[in-house]
C-alpha cells in the first residue's frame, strides 16, 4: 500500500511527465500544499493562474476558483481535483436577479466578490477578493456601488471606505457566518494573552471584537510578523494548522471548531493522485472545466478590472 510520501512522489512525477501545474488554496490540507506549485489565497492564485506556462492546471480548491483559472488561461486544460467541491456562497445570486436590480439602481457599479459563478460575473463591473476588496473599491472613481454576494465582507469594505455608498444584499459564507460573538468571548476568556485575527466573511459582531480583520493571506502575514506569541484564528481551520507548522514557537487556537469548509475538505491527496493519473491517461475521468468563449470573454472583463485596479 502507498503511504503519503509515496503518493506525493507519484503526483510530482506525473506532474512533470504531463506538464501539469498544481494550484492549491490555503484552505487545503498541508499534504496537498506540499505537492502544489502555487499556494495562497484567491487573489494570489488568480495572479498565479494568469502566469502559468504549463499546458495543464489542476486546481485544488472550489469550483469558482478553477473557473477563474480557466478564464485567465483559456488555452490551457484546467481541471478541478474534486468535481463536487462548490462554494455555496457562489451560488446564492443569479444574473437575472442582479440584472433586474441594476434596472432599479442604474447608477450603481456592481462589485462582485470573486466567490461568484462566471455567469454572475458577466453582469458585474469589477471583481474583488477579500485581500483586494478595500484597495479596489478605494481605487474606483464611482461612489455608488452594489456589493455582492457577501454582506459581511461588504460591511467591512463600507467601514474602510466611508466615502462610498455601498448597497448590500443578504448573502454570505455559511461557514464563517456561523461564528458567534459569544464564541469570541469564550475563546478570549480561555486564552487571555492571545490576539484575535478574523476573516471579514465573519459577522460584524465578531469582527468588531477582533484585533485584526483581514484576508487569509493578511491573517497569515499578521501572525508571522507580530511580536505576540498566541493567536485565536477566526478563519478556516486549516489556517491554524499551516500557521502552527510555519511558526512552531507561537501558539494558534481555532476561534471555533465550526469553521471547517466542507467543500474545501472534499479534496484529498488520493483524489489529487487519481486526477493526475486520469490526466496522464487522458481517459476523460478527470473533471475538466469547460466554458464557451463568449462566457469567458464576458466574465473576464471584471476579473481583468480586478487585476488592473489591484495590481
Residues contributing to the site for ligand SF4 (CB under 6 A): 62, 87-89, 115, 173, 175-176, 236, 261, 263-264
Closest approach, Cβ 304 to ligand 13P, in A, equals 18
Q: Does residue 42 belong to the site contacting ligand 13P (CB under 6 A)? A: yes
Q: Does residue 238 belong to the site contacting ligand 13P (CB under 6 A)? A: no
Of residues 22-41, those binding ligand 13P (CB under 6 A): 41
Name which of 61 and 183 has its Cβ closer to ligand 13P.
Answer: 61
Among 116, 215, 256, 267, the residue binding ligand 13P under the rule CB under 6 A is: 215
Element (H, E) at 24: strand 20-25
Element (H, E) at 293: helix 293-310
Q: Which does 42 bind (CB under 5 to 8 A by kind): ligand 13P, ligand SF4, none?
A: ligand 13P
CB atoms inside a 10 Å sphere around CB 104 = 7
Q: Which does 215 bind (CB under 5 to 8 A by kind): ligand SF4, ligand 13P, none?
A: ligand 13P
CA angle centred on 308, ends 33 and 160, rounded to 5°: 80
* Residue 115 DSSP symbol: S
Looking at beta carbons, which residue is closest to ligand 13P?
Answer: 41
66 and 32 in contact (C-beta within 8 Å)?
no
Closest approach, Cβ 133 to ligand 13P, in A, equals 9
Residues 138, 172: Cα–Cα separation, whole Å: 22
- Cell representation of residue 239: 489556517
Task: Name residues whose C-beta falls within 8 Å of residue 230's C-beta, 6 or more positions apart in sequence.
Answer: 191, 193, 194, 195, 250, 251, 252, 253
Q: Which does 183 bind (CB under 5 to 8 A by kind): ligand SF4, ligand 13P, none?
A: none
Q: Does residue 152 belong to the site contacting ligand 13P (CB under 6 A)? A: no
Name which of 259 and 279 has its Cβ closer to ligand 13P.
Answer: 259
Q: Does residue 129 belong to the site contacting ligand 13P (CB under 6 A)? A: yes
Closest approach, Cβ 218 to ligand SF4, in A, equals 15
Find where cell 485544488 sits.
60
Find where cell 464557451 sits.
292
Closest approach, Cβ 230 to ligand 13P, in A, equals 22
Closest approach, Cβ 141 to ligand 13P, in A, equals 24
C-alpha distances in Å from residue 204, one per residue of 11, 153, 233: 42, 9, 16
- Tallying the residues shown for the chain, one arrives at 311
Name which of 15 and 25 has its Cβ closer to ligand SF4.
Answer: 25
Q: Which does 263 bind (CB under 5 to 8 A by kind): ligand 13P, ligand SF4, none?
A: ligand SF4
86 and 293 in contact (C-beta within 8 Å)?
no
The radius of gyration computed from the CA coordinates of the chain, to the nearest angstrom, equals 19
Residues 54, 36: Cα–Cα separation, whole Å: 13
Name which of 131 and 223 has its Cβ closer to ligand 13P.
Answer: 131
Residue ranges in contact with ligand 13P by CB under 6 A: 41-42, 115, 129-131, 173, 201, 215-216
Amino acid at each position: 500500500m502507498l503511504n503519503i510520501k509515496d503518493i506525493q512522489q507519484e503526483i510530482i512525477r506525473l506532474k512533470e511527465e504531463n506538464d501539469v501545474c498544481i494550484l492549491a488554496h490555503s484552505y487545503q490540507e498541508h499534504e496537498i500544499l506540499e505537492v502544489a506549485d502555487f499556494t495562497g489565497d484567491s487573489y494570489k492564485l488568480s495572479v498565479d493562474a494568469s502566469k502559468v506556462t504549463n499546458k495543464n492546471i489542476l486546481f485544488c480548491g472550489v469550483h469558482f476558483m478553477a473557473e477563474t483559472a480557466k478564464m485567465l488561461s483559456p488555452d490551457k486544460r484546467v481541471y478541478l481535483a474534486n468535481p463536487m467541491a462548490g462554494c455555496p456562497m457562489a451560488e446564492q445570486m443569479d444574473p437575472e436577479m442582479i440584472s433586474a436590480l441594476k434596472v432599479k439602481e442604474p447608477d450603481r457599479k456592481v462589485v462582485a466578490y470573486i466567490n461568484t459563478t462566471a455567469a454572475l460575473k458577466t453582469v458585474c463591473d469589477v471583481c474583488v477578493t477579500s485581500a483586494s476588496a478595500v484597495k479596489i473599491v478605494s481605487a474606483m472613481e464611482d461612489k455608488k456601488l452594489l456589493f455582492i454576494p457577501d454582506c459581511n465582507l461588504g460591511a467591512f469594505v463600507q467601514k474602510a471606505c466611508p466615502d462610498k455608498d455601498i448597497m448590500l444584499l443578504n448573502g454570505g459564507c455559511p461557514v464563517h457566518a456561523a461564528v458567534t460573538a459569544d464564541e469570541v468571548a469564550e475563546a478570549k476568556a480561555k486564552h487571555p494573552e492571545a490576539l484575535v485575527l478574523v476573516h471579514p466573511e465573519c459577522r460584524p459582531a465578531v469582527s468588531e471584537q477582533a484585533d485584526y480583520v483581514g484576508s487569509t493571506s493578511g491573517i497569515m502575514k499578521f501572525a508571522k510578523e507580530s511580536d505576540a506569541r498566541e493567536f485565536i484564528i477566526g478563519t478556516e481551520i486549516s489556517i491554524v494548522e499551516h500557521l502552527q507548522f510555519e511558526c512552531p514557537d507561537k501558539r494558534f487556537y481555532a476561534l471555533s471548531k465550526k469553521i471547517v469548509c466542507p467543500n474545501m475538505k472534499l479534496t484529498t491527496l488520493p483524489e489529487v493522485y487519481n486526477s493526475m493519473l486520469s490526466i496522464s491517461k487522458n481517459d476523460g475521468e478527470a473533471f475538466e472545466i469547460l466554458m464557451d468563449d463568449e462566457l469567458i470573454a464576458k466574465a473576464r472583463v471584471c476579473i481583468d478590472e480586478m487585476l488592473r485596479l489591484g495590481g
